[in-house]
């Protein structure tokens, strides 16, 4: 009796499904995305709607997460903050995918002096702390979401470029690449049709881990006043506002901080599961 053979990605999915923490992380991420997209639409409150008659109300049936000092519903503000945090996280992955992957792929594939030059540029970009970029952009652009997006665009692709370059250097002397050269495949086709698809394992794992890193960066910058500013409802802004009355109204910090923690844990669970599924030899 013949058994149907599985493709590489079907085999990866089969291994991933056996990891309960990875599946839990994936389910949580899907739920957070759905809540961020549809939650504010379904809420009877606006994220910036003020009602001083219900200022600092504790969680109740009317306001599930309570209200802040201006009487704004915390649930809809946390959901709105999820939009900002996820947008920042997915932007980081987009930058990694298109700048870091192509840059690192070209560097590793061409090699020689060009590789040395491109990697020295990566070293310079990687050596400058993110906070320096933010401070400089605050002077030119001002604090806000735009500064965070530009900061991610400048700095977040460098680690991915290093990872992709290392994978390309490892793969470009394999037999299937030598065979592609023999049959006359162009360098562009070899890079984009043979090398990069075979390096997708480490790329996907790195992308998964870069999203929570970007979310935490945005939350931290907003918390210290260098990112999103009021009345926008970033998780970092909500946490910063809650710190002023932590001893009296601790629930105001619990919900945005919990959202940050759950989201980062979910992506880390999924990233660990993907790493094991894409390369079973890494399992202990």
CA distance 82 to 37: 9
CA distance 102 to 85: 25
Range of the domain at 170: 16-40+59-282
Task: Kindly report whether the peptide bond that precedes residue 231 is cis, defined as omega within 30 degrees of 0.
Answer: yes
Going by pLDDT thresholds of 50, 70 and 90, the confidence category of residue 29 is: very high
Nearest to 210 by CA among 103, 127, 93, 82: 93
Whole-number pLDDT of residue 35: 92
Inter-residue contact 103 to 157 (CB < 8 Å): yes
Percentage helix, strand, coil for the chain under 3-state DSSP, each rounded to 5: 75, 0, 25
Compute the chain's Rg from CA coordinates: 23
Q: Which CATH number do you get for residue 178?
A: 1.10.3720.10
In a domain, 162, yes or no: yes
Whole-number pLDDT of residue 3: 54
Whole-number pLDDT of residue 1: 44
In a domain, 267, yes or no: yes
Nearest to 260 by CA among 205, 206, 211, 227: 211
Q: Mind listing the pLDDT tens digit for each residue in 213-236?
A: 888 888 888 887 777 776 677 888
Q: Which residues pair with 96 in a beta bridge?
A: none
Q: What DSSP designation does 249 have?
A: -
Q: What are phi and psi of 195, to 5 degrees?
A: -75, -55
In a domain, 46, yes or no: no
In a domain, 278, yes or no: yes
In a domain, 6, yes or no: no
How many domains does the chain contain in total?
Answer: 1
pTM of the model: 0.84
Give the relative orientation of helices 130-140 and 145-155 as an angle to the nearest 10 degrees: 130
Nearest to 156 by CA among 225, 81, 206: 206
């Amino acid at each position: 009796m013949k058994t149907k053979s599985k493709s590489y990605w079907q085999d990866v999915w089969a291994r991933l499904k056996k990891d309960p923490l990875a599946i839990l992380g994936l389910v949580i991420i899907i739920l957070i995305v759905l809540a961020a997209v549809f939650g504010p639409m379904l809420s009877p409150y606006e994220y910036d709607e003020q009602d001083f008659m219900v200022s600092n109300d504790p969680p109740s049936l009317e306001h599930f997460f309570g209200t802040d000092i201006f009487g704004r519903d915390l649930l809809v503000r946390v959901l709105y903050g999820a939009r900002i945090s996820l947008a920042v996280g997915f932007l980081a992955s987009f930058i990694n995918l298109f700048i870091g992957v192509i840059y690192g792929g070209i560097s590793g594939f061409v090699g020689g002096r060009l590789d040395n030059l491109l990697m020295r540029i990566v070293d310079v970009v990687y050596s400058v702390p993110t906070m320096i970029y933010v401070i400089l952009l605050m002077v030119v652009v001002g604090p806000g979401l735009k500064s965070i997006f530009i900061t991610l665009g400048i700095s977040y692709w460098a680690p991915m470029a290093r990872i992709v370059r290392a994978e390309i250097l490892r793969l470009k002397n394999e037999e299937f690449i030598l065979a592609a050269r023999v049959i006359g495949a162009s360098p562009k086709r070899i890079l984009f049709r043979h090398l990069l698809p075979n390096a997708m394992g480490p790329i996907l794992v790195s992308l998964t881990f870069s999203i929570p890193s970007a979310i935490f960066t945005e939350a931290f910058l907003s918390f210290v006043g260098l990112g999103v500013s009021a009345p926008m409802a970033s998780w970092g802004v909500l946490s910063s506002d809650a710190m002023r009355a932590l001893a009296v109204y601790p629930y105001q910090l619990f919900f945005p901080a919990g959202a940050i923690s759950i989201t980062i844990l979910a992506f880390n669970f999924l990233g660990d599961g993907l790493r094991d599924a894409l390369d079973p030899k890494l399992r202990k």
